[in-house]
Chains A and B, each alone.
Chain A
Protein backbone atom coordinates (compact mmCIF):
# COMPACT_ATOMS: atom_id res chain seq x y z
CA UNK A 1 0.00 0.00 0.00
CA UNK A 2 2.84 2.36 0.97
CA UNK A 3 4.60 1.58 -2.30
CA UNK A 4 1.43 2.17 -4.28
CA UNK A 5 0.93 5.47 -2.49
CA UNK A 6 4.38 6.52 -3.68
CA UNK A 7 3.51 5.61 -7.27
CA UNK A 8 0.21 7.50 -7.12
CA UNK A 9 1.67 10.62 -5.48
CA UNK A 10 4.66 10.65 -7.85
CA UNK A 11 2.44 10.27 -10.91
CA UNK A 12 0.04 12.94 -9.63
CA UNK A 13 2.80 15.43 -8.82
CA UNK A 14 4.63 15.08 -12.13
CA UNK A 15 1.32 15.11 -14.05
CA UNK A 16 0.26 18.35 -12.33
CA UNK A 17 3.59 19.95 -13.31
CA UNK A 18 3.16 18.68 -16.90
CA UNK A 19 -0.46 19.92 -17.18
CA UNK A 20 0.43 23.28 -15.61
CA UNK A 21 3.27 23.65 -18.09
CA UNK A 22 1.10 22.78 -21.09
CA UNK A 23 -1.80 25.08 -20.03
CA UNK A 24 0.36 27.98 -18.83
CA UNK A 25 3.92 27.48 -20.07
CA UNK A 26 5.05 31.06 -19.39
CA UNK A 27 3.53 30.94 -15.89
CA UNK A 28 5.45 27.79 -14.95
CA UNK A 29 8.68 29.13 -16.46
CA UNK A 30 8.32 32.44 -14.54
CA UNK A 31 7.45 30.64 -11.31
CA UNK A 32 10.46 28.31 -11.65
CA UNK A 33 12.82 31.11 -12.59
CA UNK A 34 11.75 33.40 -9.68
CA UNK A 35 11.91 30.64 -7.07
CA UNK A 36 15.20 29.22 -8.31
CA UNK A 37 16.77 32.69 -8.40
CA UNK A 38 15.74 33.30 -4.77
CA UNK A 39 17.01 29.87 -3.68
CA UNK A 40 20.32 30.31 -5.51
CA UNK A 41 20.80 33.74 -3.94
CA UNK A 42 20.36 32.49 -0.39
CA UNK A 43 21.80 28.98 -0.73
CA UNK A 44 24.35 29.27 -3.54
CA UNK A 45 27.18 28.89 -1.03
CA UNK A 46 25.63 25.67 0.26
CA UNK A 47 25.32 24.13 -3.21
CA UNK A 48 28.99 24.89 -4.00
CA UNK A 49 30.09 23.64 -0.59
CA UNK A 50 28.06 20.44 -1.11
CA UNK A 51 29.61 19.80 -4.54
CA UNK A 52 33.13 20.38 -3.21
CA UNK A 53 32.60 18.23 -0.11
CA UNK A 54 31.25 15.41 -2.29
CA UNK A 55 34.35 15.63 -4.50
CA UNK A 56 36.75 15.66 -1.52
CA UNK A 57 34.95 12.68 0.10
CA UNK A 58 35.08 10.82 -3.25
CA UNK A 59 38.84 11.30 -3.54
CA UNK A 60 39.34 10.35 0.11
CA UNK A 61 37.22 7.18 -0.31
CA UNK A 62 39.33 6.11 -3.29
CA UNK A 63 42.60 6.37 -1.37
CA UNK A 64 41.39 5.39 2.13
CA UNK A 65 41.52 1.80 3.44
CA UNK A 66 37.80 1.59 2.49
CA UNK A 67 38.98 1.66 -1.13
CA UNK A 68 39.68 -2.08 -0.92
CA UNK A 69 36.05 -2.96 -0.09
CA UNK A 70 34.24 -4.71 -2.92
CA UNK A 71 30.87 -3.67 -4.30
CA UNK A 72 29.45 -7.13 -3.81
CA UNK A 73 30.50 -10.18 -1.84
CA UNK A 74 34.23 -10.56 -1.24
CA UNK A 75 34.53 -13.28 -3.90
CA UNK A 76 32.44 -11.45 -6.56
CA UNK A 77 34.29 -10.64 -9.75
CA UNK A 78 33.47 -7.77 -12.15
CA UNK A 79 30.80 -8.64 -14.71
CA UNK A 80 32.46 -6.60 -17.48
CA UNK A 81 36.10 -6.25 -18.54
CA UNK A 82 37.75 -2.99 -17.48
CA UNK A 83 37.77 -1.69 -21.08
CA UNK A 84 34.03 -2.42 -21.60
CA UNK A 85 33.26 -0.92 -18.20
CA UNK A 86 35.14 2.28 -19.01
CA UNK A 87 33.43 2.47 -22.41
CA UNK A 88 30.04 2.15 -20.76
CA UNK A 89 30.96 4.94 -18.34
CA UNK A 90 31.75 7.08 -21.38
CA UNK A 91 28.29 6.25 -22.70
CA UNK A 92 26.67 7.30 -19.43
CA UNK A 93 28.55 10.59 -19.50
CA UNK A 94 27.99 11.27 -23.16
CA UNK A 95 24.59 12.71 -23.61
CA UNK A 96 22.79 15.12 -25.79
CA UNK A 97 24.08 17.90 -23.49
CA UNK A 98 27.62 17.55 -24.75
CA UNK A 99 26.45 17.64 -28.38
CA UNK A 100 24.41 20.74 -27.62
CA UNK A 101 26.90 22.71 -25.53
CA UNK A 102 30.23 21.52 -27.04
CA UNK A 103 30.98 24.87 -28.65
CA UNK A 104 28.08 27.04 -27.49
CA UNK A 105 28.93 27.00 -23.79
CA UNK A 106 32.58 28.14 -23.91
CA UNK A 107 31.66 30.94 -26.33
CA UNK A 108 28.76 32.07 -24.08
CA UNK A 109 31.10 32.40 -21.08
CA UNK A 110 33.66 34.10 -23.31
CA UNK A 111 31.12 36.80 -24.27
CA UNK A 112 30.70 37.83 -20.63
CA UNK A 113 34.33 37.33 -19.54
CA UNK A 114 35.77 39.52 -22.32
CA UNK A 115 33.94 42.51 -20.81
CA UNK A 116 36.11 42.14 -17.71
CA UNK A 117 39.46 41.11 -19.21
CA UNK A 118 41.39 40.65 -22.47
CA UNK A 119 40.02 38.33 -25.17
CA UNK A 120 42.85 35.82 -24.69
CA UNK A 121 42.34 35.58 -20.95
CA UNK A 122 38.56 35.52 -21.40
CA UNK A 123 38.87 32.52 -23.75
CA UNK A 124 41.07 30.64 -21.27
CA UNK A 125 38.69 31.45 -18.42
CA UNK A 126 35.65 30.39 -20.47
CA UNK A 127 37.36 27.09 -21.33
CA UNK A 128 38.24 26.43 -17.69
CA UNK A 129 34.74 27.24 -16.42
CA UNK A 130 33.17 24.92 -19.01
CA UNK A 131 35.49 22.08 -17.97
CA UNK A 132 34.70 22.85 -14.35
CA UNK A 133 30.96 22.49 -15.03
CA UNK A 134 31.35 19.11 -16.78
CA UNK A 135 34.28 17.72 -14.83
CA UNK A 136 35.21 16.20 -11.48
CA UNK A 137 32.44 17.85 -9.43
CA UNK A 138 29.72 16.55 -11.75
CA UNK A 139 31.13 13.04 -11.79
CA UNK A 140 31.76 13.00 -8.04
CA UNK A 141 28.02 13.66 -7.53
CA UNK A 142 27.22 10.72 -9.85
CA UNK A 143 29.93 8.56 -8.29
CA UNK A 144 28.78 9.02 -4.69
CA UNK A 145 25.14 8.35 -5.58
CA UNK A 146 26.13 5.32 -7.69
CA UNK A 147 28.44 4.07 -4.93
CA UNK A 148 25.66 4.26 -2.33
CA UNK A 149 23.29 2.33 -4.61
CA UNK A 150 25.96 -0.28 -5.49
CA UNK A 151 27.31 -0.71 -1.95
CA UNK A 152 23.95 -1.14 -0.26
CA UNK A 153 22.50 -3.12 -3.17
CA UNK A 154 25.31 -5.58 -3.88
CA UNK A 155 27.06 -5.80 -0.51
CA UNK A 156 24.17 -5.35 1.90
CA UNK A 157 21.40 -6.87 -0.21
CA UNK A 158 19.15 -3.78 -0.07
CA UNK A 159 16.59 -3.03 -2.81
CA UNK A 160 17.57 -0.50 -5.49
CA UNK A 161 15.85 2.44 -3.86
CA UNK A 162 17.09 5.79 -2.58
CA UNK A 163 15.31 5.10 0.72
CA UNK A 164 17.00 1.72 1.27
CA UNK A 165 20.36 2.97 2.66
CA UNK A 166 18.57 5.35 5.07
CA UNK A 167 16.44 2.54 6.52
CA UNK A 168 19.34 0.10 6.53
CA UNK A 169 21.62 2.39 8.53
CA UNK A 170 19.14 4.08 10.86
CA UNK A 171 16.57 1.28 11.13
CA UNK A 172 12.92 1.14 10.07
CA UNK A 173 11.50 3.73 12.45
CA UNK A 174 8.92 6.44 11.86
CA UNK A 175 11.31 9.21 10.77
CA UNK A 176 13.30 6.97 8.39
CA UNK A 177 10.07 5.74 6.79
CA UNK A 178 8.94 9.33 6.22
CA UNK A 179 12.34 10.63 5.07
CA UNK A 180 12.87 7.49 2.96
CA UNK A 181 9.48 7.88 1.29
CA UNK A 182 10.16 11.57 0.59
CA UNK A 183 13.63 10.70 -0.78
CA UNK A 184 12.16 8.22 -3.24
CA UNK A 185 9.54 10.79 -4.27
CA UNK A 186 12.10 13.60 -4.70
CA UNK A 187 14.37 11.28 -6.71
CA UNK A 188 11.47 10.42 -9.01
CA UNK A 189 10.51 14.08 -9.50
CA UNK A 190 14.14 15.12 -10.08
CA UNK A 191 14.69 12.38 -12.69
CA UNK A 192 11.38 13.04 -14.47
CA UNK A 193 11.88 16.80 -14.75
CA UNK A 194 15.59 16.45 -15.57
CA UNK A 195 14.82 14.01 -18.38
CA UNK A 196 12.02 16.24 -19.68
CA UNK A 197 14.59 19.02 -20.00
CA UNK A 198 16.99 16.72 -21.77
CA UNK A 199 14.27 15.74 -24.25
CA UNK A 200 13.58 19.42 -24.99
CA UNK A 201 17.27 20.18 -25.45
CA UNK A 202 17.64 17.20 -27.79
CA UNK A 203 14.61 18.26 -29.83
CA UNK A 204 15.97 21.84 -30.13
CA UNK A 205 19.28 20.37 -31.28
CA UNK A 206 17.70 18.06 -33.88
CA UNK A 207 15.48 20.94 -35.07
CA UNK A 208 18.50 23.18 -35.66
CA UNK A 209 20.23 20.31 -37.46
CA UNK A 210 17.25 19.79 -39.80
CA UNK A 211 17.06 23.55 -40.45
CA UNK A 212 20.77 23.63 -41.24
CA UNK A 213 20.52 20.54 -43.47
CA UNK A 214 17.69 21.91 -45.62
CA UNK A 215 18.79 25.52 -45.30
CA UNK A 216 15.50 26.75 -43.83
CA UNK A 217 15.22 29.28 -41.03
CA UNK A 218 12.75 30.04 -38.23
CA UNK A 219 10.61 26.93 -38.59
CA UNK A 220 9.14 27.77 -35.18
CA UNK A 221 7.41 25.31 -32.93
CA UNK A 222 5.79 23.15 -35.59
CA UNK A 223 9.05 21.42 -36.58
CA UNK A 224 9.98 20.91 -32.91
CA UNK A 225 6.58 19.30 -32.28
CA UNK A 226 6.93 17.04 -35.36
CA UNK A 227 10.37 15.88 -34.14
CA UNK A 228 8.91 15.36 -30.69
CA UNK A 229 6.08 13.16 -32.05
CA UNK A 230 8.56 11.02 -34.03
CA UNK A 231 10.66 10.71 -30.88
CA UNK A 232 7.67 9.56 -28.82
CA UNK A 233 6.83 6.87 -31.41
CA UNK A 234 10.46 5.68 -31.29
CA UNK A 235 10.66 5.29 -27.52
CA UNK A 236 7.21 3.85 -26.83
CA UNK A 237 8.01 0.55 -28.64
CA UNK A 238 11.09 -0.35 -26.56
CA UNK A 239 9.04 0.32 -23.41
CA UNK A 240 6.49 -2.30 -24.47
CA UNK A 241 8.94 -5.10 -25.16
CA UNK A 242 12.22 -5.98 -23.47
CA UNK A 243 14.81 -4.53 -25.80
CA UNK A 244 17.60 -4.02 -23.28
CA UNK A 245 20.23 -5.48 -25.62
CA UNK A 246 18.90 -3.42 -28.52
CA UNK A 247 19.03 -0.31 -26.36
CA UNK A 248 22.66 -1.03 -25.49
CA UNK A 249 23.43 -1.28 -29.22
CA UNK A 250 21.67 2.05 -29.92
CA UNK A 251 23.48 3.74 -27.03
CA UNK A 252 26.85 2.41 -28.20
CA UNK A 253 26.07 3.54 -31.76
CA UNK A 254 25.32 7.07 -30.55
CA UNK A 255 28.52 6.98 -28.52
CA UNK A 256 30.56 5.76 -31.51
CA UNK A 257 29.11 8.51 -33.75
CA UNK A 258 29.98 11.16 -31.14
CA UNK A 259 33.52 9.75 -30.82
CA UNK A 260 33.98 9.75 -34.61
CA UNK A 261 32.65 13.32 -34.83
CA UNK A 262 35.16 14.40 -32.21
CA UNK A 263 38.02 12.71 -34.05
CA UNK A 264 36.87 14.19 -37.37
CA UNK A 265 36.72 17.77 -36.03
CA UNK A 266 40.16 17.34 -34.45
CA UNK A 267 41.71 16.09 -37.70
CA UNK A 268 39.77 18.20 -40.22
CA UNK A 269 40.00 21.36 -38.11
CA UNK A 270 43.12 23.27 -37.03
CA UNK A 271 44.70 20.26 -35.25
CA UNK A 272 47.72 22.05 -33.73
CA UNK A 273 45.48 24.84 -32.35
CA UNK A 274 43.02 22.36 -30.82
CA UNK A 275 45.74 20.14 -29.31
CA UNK A 276 47.53 23.21 -27.89
CA UNK A 277 44.26 24.28 -26.28
CA UNK A 278 43.65 20.81 -24.81
CA UNK A 279 47.12 20.70 -23.22
CA UNK A 280 46.58 24.17 -21.72
CA UNK A 281 43.12 23.12 -20.53
CA UNK A 282 44.51 20.07 -18.72
CA UNK A 283 47.14 22.21 -16.96
CA UNK A 284 44.76 24.93 -15.84
CA UNK A 285 42.09 22.40 -14.81
CA UNK A 286 44.46 20.37 -12.61
CA UNK A 287 45.86 23.44 -10.87
CA UNK A 288 42.61 25.36 -10.34
CA UNK A 289 39.78 22.87 -9.99
CA UNK A 290 39.69 22.37 -6.22
CA UNK A 291 39.91 26.06 -5.14
CA UNK A 292 37.41 27.03 -7.87
CA UNK A 293 34.89 24.62 -6.35
CA UNK A 294 34.63 27.02 -3.40
CA UNK A 295 34.22 30.12 -5.59
CA UNK A 296 30.88 31.90 -5.13
CA UNK A 297 31.73 35.20 -6.94
CA UNK A 298 30.73 37.15 -3.82
CA UNK A 299 32.61 40.36 -4.69
CA UNK A 300 31.39 40.60 -8.29
CA UNK A 301 28.47 42.67 -9.58
CA UNK A 302 24.90 41.45 -10.02
CA UNK A 303 25.49 40.52 -13.66
CA UNK A 304 28.20 38.03 -12.72
CA UNK A 305 25.99 36.85 -9.83
CA UNK A 306 23.16 36.12 -12.27
CA UNK A 307 25.56 34.32 -14.61
CA UNK A 308 26.85 32.24 -11.67
CA UNK A 309 23.27 31.22 -10.79
CA UNK A 310 22.16 30.44 -14.32
CA UNK A 311 25.30 28.44 -15.16
CA UNK A 312 27.48 27.08 -12.35
CA UNK A 313 24.75 26.58 -9.75
CA UNK A 314 22.27 25.33 -12.34
CA UNK A 315 24.79 22.75 -13.55
CA UNK A 316 25.56 21.51 -10.04
CA UNK A 317 21.85 21.11 -9.35
CA UNK A 318 21.39 19.56 -12.79
CA UNK A 319 23.95 16.84 -11.97
CA UNK A 320 22.05 16.22 -8.74
CA UNK A 321 18.83 15.81 -10.77
CA UNK A 322 20.46 13.18 -12.93
CA UNK A 323 22.36 11.51 -10.07
CA UNK A 324 19.76 8.86 -9.11
CA UNK A 325 19.29 7.92 -12.77
CA UNK A 326 22.97 7.81 -13.79
CA UNK A 327 23.82 6.38 -10.34
CA UNK A 328 21.58 3.36 -10.93
CA UNK A 329 23.17 2.78 -14.35
CA UNK A 330 26.79 2.98 -13.18
CA UNK A 331 25.98 0.90 -10.09
CA UNK A 332 24.46 -1.87 -12.24
CA UNK A 333 27.59 -2.21 -14.38
CA UNK A 334 30.03 -2.02 -11.44
CA UNK A 335 29.25 -5.12 -9.38
CA UNK A 336 32.46 -6.82 -8.22
CA UNK A 337 34.66 -3.70 -8.51
CA UNK A 338 36.40 -2.25 -5.46
CA UNK A 339 35.44 1.19 -4.15
CA UNK A 340 38.85 2.47 -5.31
CA UNK A 341 38.38 1.21 -8.88
CA UNK A 342 34.81 2.52 -8.91
CA UNK A 343 35.62 6.03 -7.69
CA UNK A 344 38.72 6.51 -9.85
CA UNK A 345 37.03 5.07 -12.96
CA UNK A 346 33.79 7.00 -12.59
CA UNK A 347 35.41 10.33 -11.71
CA UNK A 348 38.59 10.45 -13.79
CA UNK A 349 37.73 8.77 -17.09
CA UNK A 350 34.62 10.76 -18.11
CA UNK A 351 36.23 14.01 -16.88
CA UNK A 352 39.22 13.41 -19.14
CA UNK A 353 36.85 12.70 -22.02
CA UNK A 354 34.94 15.95 -21.36
CA UNK A 355 38.17 17.96 -21.38
CA UNK A 356 38.98 16.53 -24.81
CA UNK A 357 35.42 17.08 -26.06
CA UNK A 358 35.27 20.74 -25.07
CA UNK A 359 38.91 21.20 -26.07
CA UNK A 360 37.97 20.14 -29.61
CA UNK A 361 34.47 21.63 -30.09
CA UNK A 362 35.08 24.66 -27.84
CA UNK A 363 38.56 25.11 -29.30
CA UNK A 364 37.07 25.07 -32.80
CA UNK A 365 34.59 27.76 -31.68
CA UNK A 366 37.41 29.93 -30.30
CA UNK A 367 39.42 29.45 -33.48
CA UNK A 368 36.48 30.76 -35.52
CA UNK A 369 35.84 33.62 -33.07
CA UNK A 370 39.44 34.79 -32.60
CA UNK A 371 41.15 33.89 -35.88
CA UNK A 372 38.49 34.20 -38.62
CA UNK A 373 35.69 36.54 -39.69
CA UNK A 374 32.89 34.00 -39.36
CA UNK A 375 29.93 35.28 -37.30
CA UNK A 376 30.14 32.48 -34.69
CA UNK A 377 29.67 34.92 -31.80
CA UNK A 378 26.45 36.22 -33.38
CA UNK A 379 25.20 32.66 -33.88
CA UNK A 380 25.76 31.83 -30.18
CA UNK A 381 24.07 35.09 -29.13
CA UNK A 382 20.99 34.65 -31.32
CA UNK A 383 20.48 30.88 -31.37
CA UNK A 384 22.87 28.66 -29.40
CA UNK A 385 21.15 25.53 -30.82
CA UNK A 386 22.77 26.20 -34.19
CA UNK A 387 26.37 26.54 -32.95
CA UNK A 388 27.47 22.93 -33.48
CA UNK A 389 26.01 22.83 -37.00
CA UNK A 390 27.50 26.22 -37.85
CA UNK A 391 30.95 24.90 -36.92
CA UNK A 392 30.47 21.66 -38.85
CA UNK A 393 29.56 23.79 -41.87
CA UNK A 394 33.04 25.35 -41.81
CA UNK A 395 34.61 21.89 -42.28
CA UNK A 396 34.52 19.45 -45.22
CA UNK A 397 31.75 16.80 -45.48
CA UNK A 398 29.36 19.04 -43.54
CA UNK A 399 26.25 17.30 -44.90
CA UNK A 400 27.47 13.96 -43.56
CA UNK A 401 28.57 15.33 -40.15
CA UNK A 402 25.31 17.24 -39.73
CA UNK A 403 23.29 14.08 -40.41
CA UNK A 404 25.55 12.15 -37.99
CA UNK A 405 24.99 14.77 -35.26
CA UNK A 406 21.21 14.66 -35.74
CA UNK A 407 21.22 10.84 -35.59
CA UNK A 408 23.43 10.80 -32.46
CA UNK A 409 21.24 13.41 -30.69
CA UNK A 410 18.11 11.43 -31.58
CA UNK A 411 19.57 8.13 -30.36
CA UNK A 412 20.82 9.70 -27.12
CA UNK A 413 17.33 10.99 -26.31
CA UNK A 414 15.56 7.71 -27.18
CA UNK A 415 17.94 5.61 -25.06
CA UNK A 416 17.84 8.11 -22.17
CA UNK A 417 14.03 8.19 -22.07
CA UNK A 418 13.75 4.40 -22.23
CA UNK A 419 16.30 3.97 -19.42
CA UNK A 420 14.72 6.74 -17.33
CA UNK A 421 11.22 5.24 -17.69
CA UNK A 422 12.67 1.94 -16.43
CA UNK A 423 14.39 3.55 -13.43
CA UNK A 424 11.26 5.59 -12.57
CA UNK A 425 9.09 2.48 -12.78
CA UNK A 426 11.57 0.61 -10.56
CA UNK A 427 11.76 3.40 -7.95
CA UNK A 428 7.98 3.83 -7.84
CA UNK A 429 7.27 0.11 -7.37
CA UNK A 430 9.48 -0.56 -4.36
CA UNK A 431 12.65 -1.41 -6.30
CA UNK A 432 11.05 -4.05 -8.58
CA UNK A 433 13.81 -5.02 -11.06
CA UNK A 434 11.18 -6.07 -13.61
CA UNK A 435 8.51 -3.37 -13.40
CA UNK A 436 5.24 -3.92 -15.28
CA UNK A 437 5.02 -2.68 -18.86
CA UNK A 438 2.05 -0.43 -18.07
CA UNK A 439 3.99 1.36 -15.29
CA UNK A 440 6.90 1.94 -17.69
CA UNK A 441 4.49 3.20 -20.34
CA UNK A 442 2.83 5.63 -17.93
CA UNK A 443 6.27 7.04 -17.04
CA UNK A 444 7.16 7.19 -20.74
CA UNK A 445 4.03 9.30 -21.37
CA UNK A 446 4.77 11.60 -18.43
CA UNK A 447 8.39 12.07 -19.53
CA UNK A 448 7.03 12.96 -22.98
CA UNK A 449 4.53 15.44 -21.50
CA UNK A 450 7.26 17.09 -19.40
CA UNK A 451 9.47 17.26 -22.49
CA UNK A 452 6.60 18.88 -24.41
CA UNK A 453 6.20 21.48 -21.65
CA UNK A 454 9.83 22.47 -21.98
CA UNK A 455 9.63 22.51 -25.79
CA UNK A 456 6.59 24.81 -25.58
CA UNK A 457 8.55 27.16 -23.31
CA UNK A 458 10.82 27.55 -26.38
CA UNK A 459 13.62 28.85 -24.18
CA UNK A 460 16.69 27.02 -22.96
CA UNK A 461 16.82 29.32 -19.89
CA UNK A 462 13.28 28.31 -18.92
CA UNK A 463 14.27 24.65 -19.36
CA UNK A 464 17.26 25.15 -17.04
CA UNK A 465 15.11 26.87 -14.36
CA UNK A 466 12.45 24.13 -14.40
CA UNK A 467 15.11 21.41 -14.06
CA UNK A 468 16.78 23.27 -11.19
CA UNK A 469 13.45 23.64 -9.39
CA UNK A 470 12.81 19.90 -9.60
CA UNK A 471 16.30 18.98 -8.45
CA UNK A 472 17.00 21.49 -5.65
CA UNK A 473 15.54 19.37 -2.81
CA UNK A 474 17.74 16.47 -3.88
CA UNK A 475 20.83 18.37 -2.62
CA UNK A 476 19.78 17.37 0.90
CA UNK A 477 19.14 13.73 -0.01
CA UNK A 478 22.57 13.21 -1.58
CA UNK A 479 24.25 14.50 1.59
CA UNK A 480 22.11 12.22 3.75
CA UNK A 481 23.02 9.26 1.51
CA UNK A 482 26.69 10.13 1.90
CA UNK A 483 26.34 10.08 5.69
CA UNK A 484 24.64 6.64 5.43
CA UNK A 485 27.55 5.35 3.34
CA UNK A 486 30.24 6.70 5.66
CA UNK A 487 28.49 5.24 8.72
CA UNK A 488 28.05 1.85 7.06
CA UNK A 489 31.72 1.77 5.99
CA UNK A 490 32.82 2.71 9.50
CA UNK A 491 30.67 -0.08 10.95
CA UNK A 492 32.00 -2.62 8.44
CA UNK A 493 35.61 -1.73 9.25
CA UNK A 494 35.04 -2.27 12.99
Chain B
Protein backbone atom coordinates (compact mmCIF):
# COMPACT_ATOMS: atom_id res chain seq x y z
CA UNK B 1 0.00 0.00 0.00
CA UNK B 2 1.54 3.40 -0.96
CA UNK B 3 2.68 5.58 1.95
CA UNK B 4 0.08 8.36 1.61
CA UNK B 5 -2.74 5.93 0.98
CA UNK B 6 -1.77 4.16 4.18
CA UNK B 7 -1.70 7.44 6.14
CA UNK B 8 -5.17 8.44 4.87
CA UNK B 9 -6.49 4.98 5.69
CA UNK B 10 -5.09 5.23 9.23
CA UNK B 11 -6.54 8.72 9.77
CA UNK B 12 -9.99 7.67 8.47
CA UNK B 13 -10.00 4.67 10.78
CA UNK B 14 -8.87 6.71 13.78
CA UNK B 15 -11.93 8.94 13.30
CA UNK B 16 -14.08 5.79 13.43
CA UNK B 17 -12.36 4.61 16.63
CA UNK B 18 -12.92 8.05 18.16
CA UNK B 19 -16.57 7.98 17.15
CA UNK B 20 -17.07 4.56 18.74
CA UNK B 21 -15.38 5.86 21.89
CA UNK B 22 -17.67 8.91 22.00
CA UNK B 23 -20.74 6.68 21.58
CA UNK B 24 -19.69 4.45 24.47
CA UNK B 25 -18.98 7.52 26.63
CA UNK B 26 -22.37 9.04 25.76
CA UNK B 27 -24.10 5.79 26.64
CA UNK B 28 -22.37 5.43 29.99
CA UNK B 29 -22.42 9.05 31.21
CA UNK B 30 -25.13 10.15 33.63
CA UNK B 31 -27.66 12.67 32.34
CA UNK B 32 -29.27 15.33 34.49
CA UNK B 33 -33.05 15.25 34.91
CA UNK B 34 -33.33 18.69 33.35
CA UNK B 35 -34.66 17.48 30.02
CA UNK B 36 -36.88 14.63 31.21
CA UNK B 37 -40.56 15.07 30.49
CA UNK B 38 -42.88 15.94 33.39
CA UNK B 39 -44.38 12.47 33.15
CA UNK B 40 -40.95 10.83 33.51
CA UNK B 41 -40.09 13.01 36.53
CA UNK B 42 -43.40 12.15 38.23
CA UNK B 43 -42.86 8.47 37.50
CA UNK B 44 -39.38 8.53 39.07
CA UNK B 45 -40.63 10.41 42.15
CA UNK B 46 -43.25 7.68 42.60
CB within 8 Å of B: which residues of A? Answer: 38-39, 41-43, 46, 156-157, 167-172, 476, 479-480, 483, 486-487, 491-492, 494
Main DSSP-derived SS at the B contact region = helix
Q: Do A494 and B12 have beta carbons less than 8 Å apart?
A: no
Closest chain A residue to B34 by CB distance?
A: A171
- Judge whether B36 and A491 touch: CB under 8 Å: yes
Q: Which of B3-39 contact A (CB under 8 A)?
A: 8-9, 12-13, 16, 19, 23, 26-27, 31-32, 34-37
B44 sits at the interface (CB 8 A): yes
Instruction: Give complex CA distance A357, B11 in Å.
Output: 42
Collect the chain B residues with CB atoms within 8 Å of residue A476's CB. 19
Contact with A168, one of B8, B27, B35 (Cβ below 8 angstroms): B35
Q: Lowest 7 CB-CB distances: which A-B pairs, in order? A: A171-B35, A42-B12, A42-B9, A483-B27, A46-B16, A483-B23, A483-B26
Chain A residue numbers with a CB within 8 Å of B9 are 41-42
Point out the residues of chain A lying under 8 angstroms from B27, CB to CB: 483, 486-487
Docked pose: A186 CA to B13 CA in angstroms: 21
Q: In the complex, which residues of chain A have a beta carbon less than 8 angstroms from the beta carbon of B13?
A: 42-43
Return the chain A residue nearest B19 by Cβ.
A476
Of B19, B26, B37, the residue contacting A170 (CB under 8 A) is B26
Known contacts A157-B37, A480-B23, A491-B36, A170 near B31 by CB under 8 Å: yes
Chain B residues with CB under 8 Å of A479's CB are 19, 23
State the CA gap A242–B32 with chains docked (Å). Answer: 43
Which B residues have a C-beta under 8 Å from some C-beta of A? 8-9, 12-13, 16, 19, 23, 26-27, 31-32, 34-37, 40, 43-44
22 A-B pairs, CB-CB below 8 angstroms?
A: A38-B8, A39-B12, A41-B9, A42-B8, A42-B13, A43-B13, A156-B37, A157-B37, A167-B35, A168-B35, A170-B26, A170-B35, A171-B35, A476-B19, A480-B23, A480-B26, A483-B23, A487-B26, A487-B27, A491-B40, A492-B40, A492-B43
Q: Are A494 and B44 in contact (CB under 8 A)?
A: yes
Expressed in whole angstroms, the Cα–Cα distance for A483 and B9 within the complex equals: 27
Contacts of B36 in A (CB 8 A): 491
In the complex, what residues of B have CB within 8 A of residue A170's CB?
26, 31, 35
A157 contacts which chain B residues (CB < 8 A)? 37
- A156 vs B35: C-alpha distance when bound (angstroms): 11
Please give me the residue from chain B that is nearest to A39 by CB atom.
B12
| Smallest beta-carbon distance B11→chain A, Å | 9
A263 to chain B, nearest CB (A): 45
A487 to B12, CA, bound (A): 28
Residues in chain A near residue B23, CB distance under 8 A: 479-480, 483
| CB-CB nearest in chain A for B13 | A42
Bound CA span A157–B19, Å: 29
B31 CB contact (under 8 Å) in A42, A169, A492: A169
Give the shortest distance, in Å, between A163 (CB) and chain B (any CB).
13
Report the bound CA distance from A492 to B8 in whole Å. Answer: 42
Q: Which residue of chain A has its CB nearest to the CB of B24?
A: A483
Complex CA distance for A41 and B12, rounded to whole angstroms: 10
- Measured in the bound complex, the distance between the Cα atoms of B17 and A330 in whole Å is 32
In the complex, what residues of A have CB within 8 A of residue B26's CB? Answer: 170, 480, 483, 487
Complex: chain A residue closest to B37, CB-CB = A156
Q: A172 and B37: CB pair below 8 A?
A: no
* Nearest Cβ on chain B to A74's Cβ, whole angstroms: 11
A43 touches B40 (CB 8 A): no
Contact A487 B31 (CB under 8 A): yes
A491 cross-chain contacts in B, Cβ below 8 A: 31, 36, 40
A46 to B13, CA, bound (A): 9
Pair B31/A43 contact, Cβ less than 8 Å: no
Chain B residues closer than 8 Å to A38, beta-carbon distance: 8
Contact yes or no, A171 B40, CB < 8 A: no
CB-defined contacts of B37 to chain A, threshold 8 Å: 156-157
Kindly report which residue of chain B lies nearest to residue A492, judged by CB atoms.
Answer: B40
Beyond A171-B35, A483-B26, 13 extra complex contacts between A and B, CB < 8 Å: A38-B8, A39-B12, A42-B8, A42-B9, A43-B13, A157-B37, A168-B35, A169-B31, A171-B32, A491-B31, A491-B36, A492-B40, A492-B43
